[in-house]
């Protein structure tokens, strides 16, 4: 009895999202990291989902905004980015450029080095208390696995973080964080 051969790999013309992507690795060379970010950013132009997880980033690269705004003659218009996955990096601050994603609905910042909820950067994305929003409202933020609280947080720090979670939930935003006692 013979074993059938494995199925052929997807053709080179398959959409980039269909091809397996290499995972980033801590300590990857800057050139390899830049190439990985460029490849994944070009994929986002087709899918509307920017996946820069595990790219060993310490901040949002300026180059990604240049790639997203490139005009390719004859190519379809890029889809607006609605989902950004920055999980598994070394980001301490997401910076103000996150506001450039004016259709953002989901932001994944799991397992980074954030020390506070980045409300200043995402504030313009949050739905207003009456439910209206000048933008497509951000509805999901994942901050689990970040050192948002000190090793031994004060009761005031815990209460402030719980109040932030409650305020965002009242606006219809799901904020996932690690809270003591949960």
State which of 28-32, 46-50, 64-68, 164-168 shows the largest mean pLDDT: 46-50
Question: Given 3-state DSSP classes, what are the helix, strand and coil percentages for the chain, each rounded to the nearest 5?
Answer: 30, 10, 60
DSSP assignment string, 79-92? PPP-EEE-TTS--S
Tell me which residue of 122, 129, 124, 126 sits closest to 86, measured CA to CA.
122
- % of the chain residues with pLDDT over 70: 71
Domain architecture of the chain: domains with CATH: 27-176 (3.80.10)
Distance between CA atoms of residues 54 and 89, nearest Å: 5
pLDDT for the residue 67:
85
With a CB cutoff of 8 Å and minimum separation 6, the contacts of 86 are 52, 53, 57, 60, 94, 107, 108, 109, 112
Q: Structure pTM?
A: 0.74
Q: What is the mean pLDDT of the chain?
A: 77
Length of the chain equals 182
2 pLDDT tier (thresholds 50, 70, 90): low
72 pLDDT tier (thresholds 50, 70, 90): confident
Is the predicted pLDDT of residue 49 greater than 90, yes or no? yes
Higher pLDDT pick, 20 / 96: 96
pLDDT for the residue 180:
65
Tell me which residue of 128, 133, 121, 141 sits closest to 170, measured CA to CA.
128
pLDDT for the residue 136:
52
Phi then psi dihedrals of residue 181, to 5 deg: 80, 15
pLDDT for the residue 108:
95
In DSSP terms, 50 is beta-bridged to 84
pLDDT digits (tens, 9 = 90+) for 117-165: 777 676 645 555 555 554 456 788 899 998 877 667 778 877 888 888 8
pLDDT for the residue 13:
39
Higher pLDDT pick, 19 / 5: 5
């Amino acid at each position: 009895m013979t074993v059938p051969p494995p199925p052929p790999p997807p053709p080179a013309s398959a959409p980039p999202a269909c091809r397996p992507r290499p995972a980033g690795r801590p300590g990857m060379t800057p050139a390899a990291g830049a190439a990985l970010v460029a490849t994944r950013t070009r994929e986002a132009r087709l899918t509307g989902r920017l996946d820069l997880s595990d790219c060993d980033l310490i901040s949002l690269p300026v180059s990604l905004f240049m790639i997203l705004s490139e005009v390719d003659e004859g190519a379809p218009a890029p889809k607006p980015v609605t989902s950004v996955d920055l999980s598994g990096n070394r980001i301490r601050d997401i910076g103000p450029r996150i506001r450039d994603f004016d259709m953002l609905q989901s932001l994944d910042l799991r397992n980074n080095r954030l020390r506070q909820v980045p409300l200043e950067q995402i504030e313009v994305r949050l739905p207003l208390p009456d439910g209206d929003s000048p933008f497509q409202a951000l509805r999901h933020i994942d901050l689990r696995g970040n050192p948002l609280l000190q090793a031994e947080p004060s009761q005031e720090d815990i209460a402030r973080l719980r109040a932030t979670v409650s305020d965002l939930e009242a606006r219809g935003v799901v904020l996932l964080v690690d809270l003591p006692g949960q």
